[in-house]
């Protein structure tokens, strides 16, 4: 099943003309039940330091964040990715996230039930709450980014 899906995804990547960074973001935030892996997120984070690619990354993250309920994994994973980028990505990511805080804030009430009726929105609500409070707290954000920098040097 998942191999067919990943084949379809690679066709879509070509058909829609996504750049290689955007494909990277799409793979990291796909509907696969696992991931995104730290390696995937680190790859994306490195690309946010390139000014042209930064916008491509954020454009894709923005689309994933606003995906419909059926694709709740896209939303959950892109929140995970964005949280990582805010810590490890370029300063531009922080500016983007603050500028577009309302996109994240409004996800704090995300609702979705899967076919079995279980509430899958809870994970998104928690992630959105956590990320919102991080972005509001400049002091903590600077600390986290400092910590991340040290981790990258090690």
Write the CB contacts of 58 (distance below 8 Å, at least 6 apart in sequence): 93, 96
Question: What gap in Å lies between CA 26 and CA 89, rounded to an integer?
Answer: 17
* Interface with other proteins in residues 117-146 (CB under 8 A): 119, 122, 125, 129
Question: Minimum distance between the CB of residue 3 and other proteins, rounded to whole angstroms?
Answer: 28
Contact residue for other proteins among 55, 123, 141, 148 (CB under 8 A) = 55
Which phi and psi (to 5°) does residue 113 adopt? -120, 135
58-87: which residues touch other proteins (CB under 8 A)? Answer: 59, 62-63, 66, 68-69
What mask, x for binding other proteins by CB under 8 A, covers residues 6 to 35? ------------------------------
Nearer to other proteins, 19 or 46 (CB): 19
Please name the residues in contact with 67: beta carbons below 8 A apart, sequence gap of 6 or more.
74, 75
Q: Measuring CA to CA, which residue among 99, 89, 36 is closest to residue 64?
A: 36
Give start and end residues of each alpha helix (H) in the chain.
2-15, 20-28, 38-47, 51-65, 72-88, 91-99, 101-105, 121-136, 138-153
Q: Considering only residues 21, 28, 56, 128, which one is a binding residue for other proteins as defined by CB under 8 A?
A: 56
Q: Does 98 bind other proteins (CB under 8 A)?
A: no
Interface residues toward other proteins, by CB under 8 A: 55-56, 59, 62-63, 66, 68-69, 102-103, 105-107, 109-111, 119, 122, 125, 129
């Amino acid at each position: 099943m998942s191999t067919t899906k990943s084949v379809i995804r690679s066709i879509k990547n070509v058909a829609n003309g996504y750049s290689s960074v955007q494909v990277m973001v799409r793979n990291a935030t796909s509907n696969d039940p696992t991931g995104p892996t730290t390696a995937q997120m680190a790859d994306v984070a490195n690309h946010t330091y390139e000014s042209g690619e930064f916008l491509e990354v954020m454009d894709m993250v923005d689309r994933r964040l606003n995906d419909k309920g059926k694709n709740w994994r896209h939303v959950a994973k892109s929140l995970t990715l964005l949280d990582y980028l805010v810590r490890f990505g370029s300063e531009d990511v922080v500016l983007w996230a603050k500028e577009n805080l309302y996109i994240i804030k409004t996800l704090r009430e995300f609702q979705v039930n899967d076919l079995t009726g279980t509430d899958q929105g809870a994970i998104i609500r928690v992630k959105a709450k956590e990320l919102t409070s991080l972005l509001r707290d400049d002091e903590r954000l600077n600390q986290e980014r400092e910590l991340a920098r040290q981790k990258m040097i090690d």
